[in-house]
Amino acid sequence: MDEKKLTPKSENYSEWYNQLVQRAEMADYAPVRGCMVVRPYGWALWENIQDALDSRFKATGHVNAAFPLFIPMSFLEKEKEHVEGFSPELAVVTIGGGSVLDEPLIVRPTSETIIGYMYSKWIQSYRDLPLLINQWGNVVRWEMRTRLFLRTLEFYWQEGHTAHATAEEAEEETLQMLDIYTDFARNEAAVPVIPGRKSETEKFAGAVRSYTIEAMMGDKKALQAGTSHNLGQNFAKAFDINFLDENNTRQYCWTTSWGLSTRFIGAIIMTHGDDQGLVLPPRLAPIQLVIVPIYRNDEEREQVLPVVERIKRELEGIRLEVDDRTEVTPGFKFNHWELRGVPLRMEIGPKDVAKNSVALARRDIPGRDGKSFVPQAGINQRVSDLLETIQANMLEKAAKFRDDHIFEPKDYQEFKDVIEKDGWCFVWWHPDAENEAKIKEETKATLRCIPMEQPGGQGKCIYSGEETNIKAYFAKAY
């Protein structure tokens, strides 16, 4: 299966993606429509994503907890926009223990409501605030068109839910988590996301303000890769989350929620992958280095293997695999690990043994340009340095690709041309939900975000021509 060539990205991007996810053994389709099995290699990547995020959450004072999978239907109805947003995509449990339930239970699509209910029990005084809780878990949204990682009925994520004494604090928290997502995406995943605010149309059902990190995929479509919501007092009022402040006055809390899901694995695949397969960022890669011993006979084998063993020991702290299979050729192994995106390959053959060197091949630079021969002495430092170089190069390359496909059209006609060719438009924008809807209808582009980093100055709205000081990104999106 490995040896069959992937459909090239340029030929059929979506087919390339589907083949890659399955052949690299990241995920598989489950027997239930739209559900996925995350296979061990994909889950190992998710575990590394979890570690990178979890340590950032804990460093900023958050703790983890677990709230129930099932939510009474009536809870959802307490927040009007929330229920409108989520009711079309619910999975509903109507039978339990052989009996029809009095009140159907929904399988959580997100947990604001049930967590809001618990917070109203736990929060009494300003001393209980802020309450900063995160949950790692699974949620279910009944999507009609699904794709592995990008959109599945069940997916895995973290959802943070916090409660604060003031509006300012809640907004600070919302932005802090946006920063954490941005930092994680850029520095761990080498995905150069653009952080920004969602439009009123695109914000979370029940939020006052939604923020997002937007990433450009290899086909130039945008992917919303993580979101952070300021919920204002909407859920606090719906669930009566209140506290006595320092003056003994009862106040509603201000709450936030923020999430990043296994969808991010799709972002990594589509940001870095090439026609040979995955290209995984070293900091998150389950396997950072694969060592392939090269020999043609027993004599060479006896020369090579002890050196492989010694070097393996010296590479402590590097996540590595020695591919000592005897039933396949080195060429087969190269393809195998390239498909799986292992950042660095080390080859050790009799010549390397004789010269006290090894050959290294970078996954991010295919072919001869990515190959080097280095001394065995100090190999741990060399490999560590090279992994950092690869990490940096991947970010740079992705940022260049992104910037090369962002345009600043001067009028709506040019805007349409850019979108037609799958570019992103960065344009002056006068916020208006109706105009936003028309653009979507006319071009399929949506407002991805109003980036935090604004150029300043002002200009005429690309659609209405009204004066505005806001610039926004528009693009087709997943």
Considering only residues 8, 40, 375, 465, which one is a binding residue for a second copy as defined by CB under 8 A?
40
- For Cα atoms 26, 28, 33, give the angle at the middle one, nearest 5 degrees: 145
d(CA 224, CA 222): 7
> Is 104 among the residues that bind a second copy (CB under 8 A)?
yes
Return the number of the residue (76 or 395) whose C-beta is nearest a second copy. Answer: 76
> Is 118 among the residues that bind a second copy (CB under 8 A)?
yes
Q: Which of residues 313-352 bind a second copy (CB under 8 A)?
A: 327
Q: Which of residues 431-450 bind a second copy (CB under 8 A)?
A: none
> Is 21 among the residues that bind a second copy (CB under 8 A)?
no
Are 213 and 185 contacting, i.e. CB atoms less than 8 angstroms apart? Answer: yes
**What are φ and ψ of residue 455, in 5° steps?**
-70, -20
> Is 452 among the residues that bind a second copy (CB under 8 A)?
no
Q: What sections of 298-404 are H helices per DSSP?
A: 298-314, 330-339, 350-355, 379-404
Q: Lay out the sheet containing 320-322: strands in order across.
A: 320-322, 289-293, 344-348, 357-362, 371-375
Distant-in-sequence, close-in-space partners of 111: CB < 8 Å, separation ≥ 6: 67, 71, 135, 139, 159, 161
d(CA 58, CA 358): 40
Q: Which of residues 72-101 bind a second copy (CB under 8 A)?
A: 72, 75, 87-98
The number of C-alpha atoms within 13 Å of 351 and in the hemisphere containing its C-beta is 5
> Is 38 among the residues that bind a second copy (CB under 8 A)?
yes
> Is 35 among the residues that bind a second copy (CB under 8 A)?
yes
> Is 3 among the residues that bind a second copy (CB under 8 A)?
no
Question: Which of 213, 199, 193 shows the shortest CA–CA distance to 463?
Answer: 199
x/- track of binding to a second copy for residues 138-177 (CB under 8 A): x-x-xxx--------xx-x---------------------
For residue 151, give both structure tokens: 């959109």
Stretch that binds a second copy, among 111-119, 211-219, 336-344, 429-437 (CB under 8 A): 111-119
Q: To the nearest whole angstrom, how small is the minimum distance from the Cβ of residue 225 to a second copy?
A: 20
The site that binds a second copy (CB under 8 A) totals a number of residues, namely: 58
Q: To the nearest whole angstrom, how small is the minimum distance from the Cβ of residue 324 to a second copy?
A: 14
> Is 129 among the residues that bind a second copy (CB under 8 A)?
no
With tokens 């589907």, the residue in question is: 18
x/- track of binding to a second copy for residues 192-231 (CB under 8 A): ----------------------------------------
> Is 32 among the residues that bind a second copy (CB under 8 A)?
yes
**What are φ and ψ of residue 389, in 5° steps?**
-65, -45
CA 352 to chain centre: 40
Return the number of the residue (46 or 211) whose C-beta is nearest a second copy. Answer: 46
Return the number of the residue (246 or 441) whose C-beta is nearest a second copy. Answer: 246
412-420 and 433-443 helices cross at what angle (nearest 10)? 50
Considering only residues 3, 11, 65, 331, which one is a binding residue for a second copy as defined by CB under 8 A?
65
Give me the sign of the Cα torsion angle 4, 5, 11, 15. Answer: positive
* Residues within the interface to a second copy (CB under 8 A): 28, 30-32, 35-40, 42-44, 46-47, 63-72, 75, 87-98, 104-105, 107, 114, 117-118, 121-122, 127, 133, 137-138, 140, 142-144, 153-154, 156, 327
